[in-house]
Amino acid sequence: MTLMISVSGVRGIVGETMTPMLAAEMGAMFGSYLGGGTVVIGRDSRPSGTMVHNAVTSGMLAAGCHVVELGVVTTPGVALMVGERSAAGGVVITASHNPEQWNGIKFITSEGFAPPPELAEQIFDRYRRKDFHFAGVEQLRELERDLTTHDRHVAKVTRVLNVEAIRRRQLKVVLDSVNGAGGLGGKMLLERLGCKVTHLNSEPHGRFAHPPEPTAENLVGLCEAVREHGADVGFAQDPDADRLAIVDNQGRYIGEEYTVALATKYMLSKQVGAVAVNLSTSRMVDDLVAQAGDGAVVHRTPVGEANVARAVLTHGCVIGGEGNGGVIDPRVVPVRDSFVGMGLVLDLLAEDWRPLATIVDEMPRYVMIKQKFEVDREAIQAWLERVRMSTDGQSNDADGLRIDWPEGWVHVRPSNTEPIARVISEAADEKTAVSLARRITELL
């Protein structure tokens, strides 16, 4: 039975590994780490959300925390409310893009994003040792509810956009919220920007209308709706609304990699500066930074939102994100945010006025191939060493091993939770991408 514990939090199957006992102990663990104080908690729309949410809340209350319930809200919304409420931390009950039988618990520090790996290990060590601090009755705090997250989130996003220009464009948008947590706030944002919205799978009941990961095979309905309604763009959120996939005006799924690329393109047209993305994100970002000229630079980080967020803040980046459809705009919140992603793409369309398909076709184009191999951890390390010793490319071992050549790159990354390694390759054409990956996999 699967229980995944990693820097990204905890995920398990409800009724098997994700139980109320586990959730309560995770709440007590985090509350004990925080030493009491204010903590905000929200959840996505999964049917199991109330059960897991209440158990985590109980554990945090038992540890003496002042718990503020936010209701069904997005992951970036919870991160935003950590700052808005000057909280010591936050918790999101979500399994992101996993199917509905899964649920999870994500932890957010006072900085507004997940703890770094070394701190996450210290926190989870409390769980393994059952090192919980339970408050006496005189230290127990009352539960509070705050239902303003969507309003505050939308207001903060609109403050960084050219709202009047977007309204003048009167864009037609199809939004697929996959019955997740992003529907209410997502529609609120689009309507505030003057868009004519067709909203698919809007009810936040967590019985996902299609597999919830925003990939091409899962968004056939969105592509059809964009063509049917003559929309300018289609947006797809995942269940906790931190990721965003985009469909162009022709009803063509352009891929999650284009979300951060389009946001980067727009931001660098306004302010030349640093950009942070992870090692598995497309080289499109590097090309856009090169086109921006002096003062623009790319900072590559290990995979993981917290790593990118840290780089965004450390280097004063104008934008950051990951190629899975996650855009980080530090002016709003230091985590991936589908609201920000939608807003920046609409800003781009309002300024350019050309169809999105035309803008996309003028951008650098690459083919990315993703593979997965079952291999134990010791064998992975030996494999990486063979690759390192034999390659003629430029190496980066900040997270597994990434090799760059002029014609493309390959990233080999061991899983933190499973005996597998992921191999991602990218080049201008499929044949080259396959050939580059083969150079590496033949050494396994």
For the stretch 276-310, pLDDT in tens is 999 999 999 999 999 998 999 999 999 989 999 99
Rounded CA separation 287/301 (Å): 17
Q: What is the mean pLDDT of residues 337-360?
A: 97
Question: Mean pLDDT across the stretch 99-107?
Answer: 96
Burial of 384 (0-12, 13-18, 19+ CB in 10 A): buried
Out of 183-197, 247-261, 278-292, 362-376, least confident range: 362-376
DSSP string, 361-426: HTS---EEEEEEEE--HHHHHHHHHHHHHH--SEEE-SSSEEEEETTEEEEEEE-SSSSEEEEEEE
- pLDDT for 377: 77
pTM of the model: 0.94
Let me know if 96 is a catalytic residue. yes
The percentage of residues in the chain with a pLDDT greater than 90, rounded to a whole number, is 87
Using pLDDT thresholds of 50, 70 and 90, give the confidence band for residue 159. very high
Percentage of residues of the chain with pLDDT beyond 70: 99
pLDDT surpassing 70 at residue 1: no
Q: List domains and CATH numbers for the chain.
A: 3-147 (3.40.120.10), 152-361 (3.40.120.10), 367-441 (3.30.310.50)
Write out pLDDT tens, residues 124-140. 999 999 999 999 999 99
pLDDT for position 11? 94
Mean pLDDT in residue range 339-346: 98
Q: Which among 48, 96, 280, 282 is annotated as catalytic?
A: 96
Instruction: Give residue 130's pLDDT.
Output: 96
pLDDT at 418 over 80: no
Burial class (CB in 10 A: 0-12, 13-18, 19+), 286: buried
Please give the average per-residue pLDDT across 206-235, as a whole number.
Answer: 96
Are 252 and 244 in contact by the 8 Å Cβ rule? The answer is: no
Whether the per-residue pLDDT at 237 is higher than 80: the answer is yes
- Residue 417 is predicted with a pLDDT of 64
Band of the pLDDT at 100, cuts 50, 70, 90? very high
Most distant CA atoms of the chain, gap in Å? 68
Minimum mean pLDDT among 10-24, 85-99, 379-393: which range?
379-393
Which residues fall within 8 angstroms of residue 87, CB to CB, at 6 or more apart? Answer: 37, 38, 39, 40, 68, 81, 110
* CB-based contact 251:219 (threshold 8 Å): no
Question: Which pLDDT value is given to residue 419?
Answer: 79
Average pLDDT over the chain, rounded to whole? 95
**pLDDT, average across residues 416-441:** 90
Q: Taking residues 319-336, what's their average pLDDT?
A: 96
> What pLDDT score was predicted for residue 296?
95
pLDDT per residue as tens digits for the range 45-75: 999 999 999 999 999 999 999 999 999 999 9
Q: pLDDT per residue over 389-417, tens digit each?
A: 888 889 999 999 999 999 999 999 987 76
CB 363 within 8 A of CB 265: yes
Q: Is the pLDDT of residue 151 over 90?
A: yes
Q: Mean pLDDT lowest for which of 187-201, 251-265, 311-325, 416-430?
A: 416-430
Say what the pLDDT of residue 300 is. Answer: 96
